[in-house]
Each structure stands twice: as structure tokens, then as C-alpha cells.
Structure 1
């Protein structure tokens, strides 16, 4: 049995948790197009380090 914190509503915490998960998913969705550019930038930086 889990300990409950006084004054916390389980339904509200589920709603807020789902909202937070949705925000994180949306931010990841917007970041996906930058992936190839970041990979290219890291690759070119590593190529410049090695002679």
C-alpha cells in the first residue's frame, strides 16, 4: 500500500502527469527535424579534430 500525502488528489495528479507527458512529447516532436543537423555538426567537428 502506497503512502498518501495529505491534501493531494489522485485524479488531479494523473491529469497533471498526463499533461506534463504531453508537453515533453510535443517538445520532442518539434526537436526531431534538428536531428540530422546536429549529427552533421558533431561529425564535422570530430573530422576537424583528427588530422
Structure 2
């Protein structure tokens, strides 16, 4: 059971939540091309820290 706050509509809360989730999903989708570059950069930074 969740506490109800006066003046808040459940329908508007759901719509806002879905829109926020959609924005996060779009931002993740747009950031996918940066993945290989980020992995290369992390590998280069950690290259000297791992003993062989």
C-alpha cells in the first residue's frame, strides 16, 4: 500500500512516469555509438595498472 498525497492524479503520474522512462530510453539509444570508444579509452587507462 502506498501513501496517497492530496492533489495528485494517478493517471497524470503514470503518464509522467512513462514519458520519463521514454526519455531515458532515447538517451541510452543515442549514447550507444560511444560504447566502443569508451571501452577503448578505459582499456588504455587501465593498461598500465594490470600486472602481466
What's the TM-score once normalised by structure 2's chain length? Answer: 0.85
Q: Any runs of at least 4 consecutive aligned residues in structure 1 with deviations exceeding 6 A, and if so which?
A: none
User: Any gaps of 5 or more consecutive residues in structure 1?
Assistant: none
Question: Which deviates more from structure 2 when the two are superposed, residues 23-32 or residues 41-50?
Answer: 41-50
Please, what TM-score do these two structures have when normalized by structure 1? 0.86
2:17 pairs with 1:17: yes
Gaps of 5+ in 2: none
RMSD: 1.6
Structure in which a larger fraction of residues adopt helix: 1
